[in-house]
Amino acid sequence: MSSISTQPTPRLALVTGGSGFVGGHLIRRLLSDGWRVRALGRSTEALAGVQAMGAEPVAGDLVNLASLTQAMEGVEVVFHVAAHFKLWGPMSQFRQINVDGTRNVVEAAERAGVRRVVYVSAAAVIMGLPGPMHGATEAMALHKMSFAPYATSKAEAEEVLLAANGRRAGFSTVALRPPFIWGPDMPALDHMIETVRNGQFRWVGGGGQALSTCHVDNLCHALVLAADRGSGGEAFFVSDGEDTTLKSFLTRLLGSRGVTPKDRSVPFGVAWAMAGLMGAVWQAFRRKGEPPISRQMLRLIGKDFTIDISRARDELGYAPVISPADGMRRMCPGDAAPANTAVDQTRLAVA
């Protein structure tokens, strides 16, 4: 009598924002772990991109509740990665995608019988007026500042998400709060390189600000853990587990592409005043694009900001899977460490 081998059915996940930087890395991680992955996309290009990675492409939009609900049919876990990430723009745009979009994701997940929604929030949700923050924890209050529409909208979206936890039996929500996300093919690096080459790059306050970072592989690892671990209705900070300084980190990051920033600096107070003036000009004359400097950007990188990941370690079982040093080596052609770290020769991670 022949025996019939039964293989467990792969778990099905939906990823929003799968054609983006974090979403693409997450899709590849999930597939390597044996998940079936469905990815939401708005454009033909986005759908083709996620299909090329091995995910099942599904046409949909965060503002279309019906398409979201249909996309989630049979899905166990939704990884909500999609976001409107800009350093400048009207609050209405941020709220439409980040807040209303998250509200639609949650409602669709409840309707479709999804077990858990894991949301990529942001460490910036606790940033208020500029000031140093060391070892920030989840106990700190959320802040909503008019000059920071991205961080404000992410804070509002997180509130929407976590409030929905347990609203239906068996339904839970979790938010992860990474700081500066980096890694191979990060889109922000090209912009920074262009700024340096154009002679527009300046260190704010000398660049000595303490900084927590999160490699994209570490974030994806935390997302996968959060699919099954951690109390619902909670937020968790995640990072590389080693802090650095802005100058040390960006010098090595730019050095991985053979670019060395000059040692030119502007005081934080001067930069803050300039950003306010530029913001007023952009609003008054309805100029397109982003101003060269914004207060939201300065709030993100202008002062010390480090986080404590003890809760993620304890409740998610999280530990970084790649060190900052190894991550930086992988940024370089030939998997070699950058040869020129001109401005700051210190190790990437500092105590």
What is the mean predicted confidence (pLDDT) over 194-209? 93
Q: Which two tokens stand for residue 240?
A: 């590389």
Mean pLDDT rounded to a whole number for the chain: 91
**Structure confidence by residue, pLDDT tens digits, 317-326:** 999 999 999 9
State the average pLDDT over residues 168-181: 97
150 carries an active-site annotation = yes
In this structure, of 23-27, 111-115, 195-199, 210-214, the range with the lowest mean pLDDT score is: 195-199
Residues 256-268: what's their mean pLDDT?
94
- SS3 string of 5-29? CCCCCCCEEEEECCCCHHHHHHHHH
Reported confidence tier of residue 287, pLDDT bands at 50, 70, 90: confident
pTM above 0.85? yes
Residue 114 has pLDDT above 60, yes or no: yes
**Alpha-helix residue ranges (DSSP H) falling in the chain:** 21-32, 44-53, 65-71, 91-94, 101-112, 149-163, 187-197, 216-226, 246-255, 268-284, 295-301, 310-311, 324-329
The more confident residue out of 318 and 346 is 318
Please state, for a pLDDT cut of 90, what percent of the chain lies above it: 83
pLDDT beyond 70 at 108: yes
The whole-number pLDDT of residue 83 equals: 95
Q: What's the confidence (pLDDT) of residue 302?
A: 95
**Residue 284, pLDDT score:** 86
Return the amino acid letter for 133: M
pLDDT, tens only, 245-261: 999 999 999 999 999 99
pLDDT band for position 344 (cuts 50, 70, 90): very low
Q: What is the pLDDT of residue 338?
A: 35
22 band by pLDDT with thresholds 50, 70 and 90: very high
Annotated catalytic residue within 21, 79, 119, 150? 150
Percent of the chain at pLDDT above 70?
93
Strand partners, 137: none
Residue 136 CB neighbour total at 10 angstroms: 18
Assign domain 12-187+213-240+307-322 to a CATH class: alpha beta
58 near 38, Cβ under 8 Å? yes
Of the pLDDT bands very low, low, confident and very high (cuts 50, 70, 90), residue 342 is very low
Report the DSSP beta bridge partners of residue 16.
Answer: 80
